[in-house]
Amino acid sequence: MEKKKPARRDFIKRSAMALGGIAIAPMTGMAHKTAKSNAADKKLHIVCLGAHPGDPEFGCGGTMAKYSDAGHQVTFLYLTRGEASDPKVTYEAMAAARTKEAETACKILNATPQFAGQIDGNTELNKTQNEKIGKMLLALNPDIVFAQWPVDGHPDHQVTGMLALTAWVKSARAFHLYFYEVNTGVETMGFVPTDYVDITALRERKKAAMFAHKTQDPINTYNDYFKPLEEFRGLEAGVKAAEAFIHFKTEQVRATIVGL
Ligand SMILES: [Zn+2]
């Protein structure tokens, strides 16, 4: 697939990094193991970690589609299969249904689904899981990992964000780490974006991926939460619809005030 130069408004950034599947600038001062993410024209592997089927799609489906359209490899690593989402349905049946929904959504976004084997509503953050998920992530050799922001009302989302953060630290920051938001104000909290991706042209495709999660009341979830969120982040970024991220860079000098 031909790679395109990013349109000026494709990615509105406040940091020194470029995203949007087009170019990744060198990570100044970071113990970055690989040089591949410094090459603007190199194929990247993007891994999006989510607690449940649907989290990556709702949180950053537009950005992931943008990456895959640009010729990059995208993997969704779901921590669980969402097996606890309906008390009237057995875990086994719900896991089967939600796995199928995730597979359908991934096809729409041209992503590859993987499942990490934890249990919905009972995810674990401990030494064993830190090692297991860290190994799974590194085995994928990601250039960039997107994960849920850990300050969230849902315990599974907290666990997901912290597992990613721990893997990033333990790997000597071998990949770029971005956090994404879901249901901000209800689930994600304290989210102050550093970067925005214009998803205006990808809204319908993202919507189709979200609506593939038929067991999750996608129409109301979209209308009540994600449609206004895309538009709110779009207003902040000066475009019609955007997804917002926190680029986690502990070493970066954050003072960007002119004159300091
Ligand atoms: Zn979730």
Q: Where are the domains of the chain?
A: 11-247
Q: What does the DSSP 8-state code read for residue 223?
A: I
Burial tier of 254 (Cβ tally within 10 Å: 0-12, 13-18, 19+):
exposed
Predicted confidence (pLDDT) at residue 52 exceeds the cutoff of 90: yes
> What's the gap in Å between 28 CA and the centre of ligand 1?
33
Residue 255's pLDDT band (cuts 50, 70, 90): low
pLDDT tens digits, residue range 205-232?
999 999 999 999 999 999 999 999 999 9
Ligand 1 centroid – CA 65 distance (Å): 20
Compute the distance from residue 52 Cα to the ligand 1 centre, in Å. Answer: 5
Are 150 and 189 a contacting pair, CB within 8 Å?
no
Measured in angstroms, how far is the CA atom of residue 50 from the centroid of ligand 1? 7
**Token pair of 215, please?**
């067991």
Task: Give me ligand 1 centre to Cα 157, in Å.
Answer: 6
How far does residue 245's CA lie from ligand 1's centre (Å)?
17
> 42 C-alpha vs ligand 1 centroid, how far in Å?
32
| Top-confidence residue, 21 or 64 | 64
Report the separation in Å between the CA atom of 187 and the middle of ligand 1, taken as the mean of its atom positions: 9
CA of 51 to the centre of ligand 1 (A): 5
Q: Please report, rounded to a whole number, the percentage of residues in the chain having pLDDT higher than 70.
A: 82
| Cα of 31 from ligand 1 centre, angstroms | 31
Which amino acid appears at position 47 of this protein?
A: V
d(CA 170, CA 106): 29
CB 69 within 8 A of CB 110: yes
Residue 55 Cα to ligand 1 middle (Å): 5
Q: How far apart are CA 157 and CA 179, in angstroms?
A: 11
3-state secondary structure of 114: strand
Q: At 18, is the pLDDT very low, low, confident or very high (cuts 50, 70, 90)?
A: very low
In the numeric block, the tokens 């067991």 are attached to: 215
Task: Write out the two tokens for 189.
Answer: 């909290």
pLDDT for 189:
97
Q: What is the mean pLDDT of the chain?
A: 87
Q: Which residues surround ligand 1, an ion (CB under 5 A)?
A: 51-52, 55
Is the model's pLDDT at 2 over the cut of 80?
no
Whole-number Å distance between alpha carbons of 50 and 147: 6
Residues whose CB falls within 8 Å of the CB of residue 37, separated by 6 or more in sequence, listed in order: 24, 27, 44, 143, 144, 175, 176
Q: Which residues contact 111 (CB under 8 A, 6 or more apart)?
A: 48, 56, 64, 68, 74, 75, 76
DSSP string for 4-51: -PPPTTTEEESSS---TTT-----TT-----SGGG-TTSPPEEEEEES
Query: What is the rounded average pLDDT of the residues 10-27?
Result: 36
Asked if 67 contacts 74 with a C-beta cutoff of 8 angstroms, the reply is yes
Does residue 163 sit in helix, strand or coil? helix
Distance 146 CA to ligand 1 centre (A): 14
Going from the Cα of 143 to the center of ligand 1, the distance in angstroms, rounded, reads 24
Q: How far is the centre of ligand 1, averaged over its atoms, from the C-alpha of 139 (Å)?
A: 24
CATH code, residues 11-247: 3.40.50.10320
Q: Model confidence over 130-178: pLDDT tens digits?
A: 999 999 999 999 999 999 999 999 999 999 999 999 999 999 999 999 9
pLDDT higher at 219 or 26: 219
State the distance from the centre of ligand 1 to the C-alpha of 1, rounded, in angstroms: 32
